[in-house]
Structure 1
Amino acid sequence: MNRLTITTELVRAVIADQFPQWAALPIRPVASSGWDNFTFHLGDDMSIRLPSAARYEPQVAKEQKWLPRLAPHLPVPISAPIAMGIPSAAYPYYWSVMRWLPGASADQAAPENQSNIARDLARFLTALQSIPNQGGPQPGPQNFYRGGLLKTYDDDVRRCLNMLKGRFNTAHITDIWDTACATHWESPPVWVHGDIAPSNFLIAEDRLAAVIDFGGCGVGDPACDLVIAWTYFAGDAQRVFRETVNMNADTWARAKGWAIWKALLVTCDKGGDTEHLNHLLIEMSATSKKL
């Protein structure tokens, strides 16, 4: 996959071309962009999000359509579209102008009371799951099957496990994966965020302040949204999150499967080291009697 190179000068040019009313506002990169999009500040109150590759472009129209419908039902602010840019000679994809939301991303903050955030985030997910979802986006390639069947990634997981033989207890990881794939969401489909990661929720004064980046959202199985139990929360915060989100054992088993898939992807395909996978396995082992 070829990711674009996007500069401040390019962003300034497309703003001037398509939204001249904002051309005089300062533009600068955010401190940390994600993988799917390049993000820039537009003045003090807005942000610009440009997909980094063609596979991420469908997320733009989805967020533009659905986020205004979800927002009134949720306990904290979420990403709010203001305008949508169109493909041009300077930049080939649809893109978004969003409202800038205050707060520090969880991966850059050090909260004193993680349990408050765990409770807030669990309540947010419960509220999201309760929103009517008729006509909502189904799991598929556009959201990497979040909310869909884990079995979609079975070949990828087994390929990675084969690469890691001798470095990890791959039999144990295979058991986690097989257990996850053997279960299914038996209830009606619900809204899922799709990428509840520390970089995608904001914190202020040790409370959840906002949730952002709904590019992976869809309607389906909420197990994918529970991965944060191991990738961010620890100790009592894990317990609070688990009890407040109130899911059954099979759903937690699938959540482990989603966590394993992502950790293997990072380790095998994105050139990452093994630290993330090691941490995940340690956390899962420590909480195996609870989740």
Structure 2
Amino acid sequence: MANMPAAEVPLNEMLVTQLLHEQQPDLAHLPVHTLANGWDNGVFRLGKDFVVRLPRREISVQLIRNEQLFLPQIAELTSLNLPVPLRLGRPSETFGWPWTVSQWFDGEAAILSAPREHGGLVDQLADFLISIHRPAATGAPRNPVRGVPLRNRDRAFRDRVTPPRFAQHREIIALWEQSLRVPEWHREPYWLHGDLHAANILVLAGQVSAIIDFGDMGCGDPAVDFAAAWILFERSDRDRFRAKLDERIGTDAALWQRARGWALNLATVMLTQSDDSPEFLALGEHTLRAVLEN
């Protein structure tokens, strides 16, 4: 994506193989193939059954540690597949940061299919959020940009949303300011995925095969995860998604208004930081239309 920070340590298949020989020798014979280099982590497929995940920047090291420490606890709450660490790589002279081996899950990221095709995901994703949104463990991480009060994101939002960039600038700002007026989350912090968008949901045969990338995992206001309603679905499926959640957790108008604010925030991020990613640009355009629709 545009403005992606450079890797502070070069990640490649040779490095992964060397680390496996040193720390996980029983896996070192398996072929290694690069899958992705994101903002925070590099991801490599290991044989047919595993994935290796390594931080590419020092700021991302704590995210890997958070996954190693807390993702097993979240996985106990849901029946969906999550990338729970199977092997924990330790810092060494070869690579000075922690890294992880987890299970490979078949499926295609939902970002590669149209929102109109996501109706079959409604029940599973609603059940997933109902399952994990409960008080977090003592010492659970706090993400500084997810699950926080929306006012904490106000300056960054306004810096992004300028008239030259957004033709609907006035409408977007008005909706954002409406979200800021909603009462904040004052209950105890809940577990959060933190980044529940279409690239982090794997789909196989029209069903969720796994929820991946818990790098933004933390605790706080669950409204950030409810933003998935606008990111993933067309209006009719979004209404079903909301109705299912309301049936199980009770109607909370303020929570949904904050969720809409989070969806608006994330849409503007995707639209201003995805110049070289047509999939994320399309996702941002869909999300913005959905948020302005209702």
Whether the TM-score (by the shorter chain) exceeds 0.5 is yes
Separation (CA, whole Å) in 2 of partners of 1:241 and 1:137: 28
Q: What CA distance in whole angstroms lies between the structure 1 residues aligned with 2:98 and 2:216?
A: 16
CA distance, structure 2, for counterparts of residue 276 and residue 202 of structure 1: 15
1:62 maps to what in 2?
Answer: 66
Q: In the alignment, what sits opposite 2:169?
A: 170
Q: Which amino acid in 1 is paired with 2:123? A: R
Q: 1:166 to 1:70 in 2, by over 3 A?
A: closer
Q: For 1:7, give the aligned amino acid.
A: N
Give the secondary structure class of the aligned counterpart of 2:100: strand
Unaligned 5+ segments in structure 2 are: none
Distance 1:77 1:167 in 2: 38
Aligned length: 281
Structure 1 residues 199 and 166, CA gap change in structure 2 (3 angstroms)? closer
* Map of 1:139 onto structure 2: 142
Distance in 2 between residues matched to 1:205 and 1:34, nearest whole Å: 26
Percent of counterpart pairs with the same letter? 29
C-alpha distance in structure 2 between counterparts of 1:70 and 1:205, whole Å: 25
Q: 1:121: how far off?
A: 0.3
Give the TM-score normalised by structure 1. Answer: 0.86
CA deviation vs aligned residue, 1:199-236 (integer Å, no higher than 9, x gap): 21222222222212112111211111122222221143
Out of 255, 271, 284, the residue aligned to residue 259 of structure 2 is 255
Matched residue, 1:179: 178
Residue identity opposite 1:203 in structure 2: V
Residue type of the alignment partner of 1:266: M
Letter matched to residue 212 of structure 1: I
Q: CA deviation at 1:270?
A: 5.5
Change (3 A) 1:24 1:58: same
Report the Cα offset of residue 25 of structure 1: 0.9
1:15: which partner in 2? 20
CA deviations on 1:78-106 (whole Å, 9 max, x unpaired) are: 11111221233443321111122233322
Q: Is 1:177–1:260's contact at 8 Å kept on the other side of the alignment? A: yes
What does residue range 19-168 of structure 1 map to in structure 2 within 5 Å?
A: 19-30=24-35, 32=36, 34-109=38-113, 114-130=118-134, 132-141=135-144, 145-162=145-162, 164-165=163-164, 167-168=166-167
8 Å CA contact retained: 1:87, 1:94: yes
Distance 2:220 2:167 in 1: 32
Question: How far apart in 1 are the matches of 2:63 and 2:287?
Answer: 28
- Between 1:230-239 and 1:216-225, the stretch displaced more is 230-239
**Cα gap change, 1:270/1:278 in structure 2, threshold over 3 Å: closer, same or farther?**
closer
Q: Which amino acid in structure 2 is aligned with residue 152 of structure 1?
A: N
TM-superposed deviation, 1:116? 2.5
CA distance in 1, matches of 2:237, 2:288: 18
List 4+ stretches of structure 1 deviating above 4 A: 109-113, 269-277
Equivalent position amino acid for 1:279 in 2: H
Q: Contact 2:115 / 2:233 at 8 angstroms: preserved in 1?
A: no
Return closer, same or farther for 1:123/1:175 CA change in 2, 3 Å cut-off. Answer: same
> In the alignment, is the contact (CA less than 8 A) between 2:192 and 2:217 conserved in 1?
yes
> Does residue 209 of structure 1 match 2:213?
no
| Structure-2 separation of matches of 1:276 and 1:111 | 9
Cα distance 1:206–1:268, how it changes in 2: closer, same or farther (>3 A)? closer
Q: Which amino acid aligns with 1:202?
A: L
Aligned to 1:285: 292
Q: Secondary structure at the match of 1:242?
A: helix
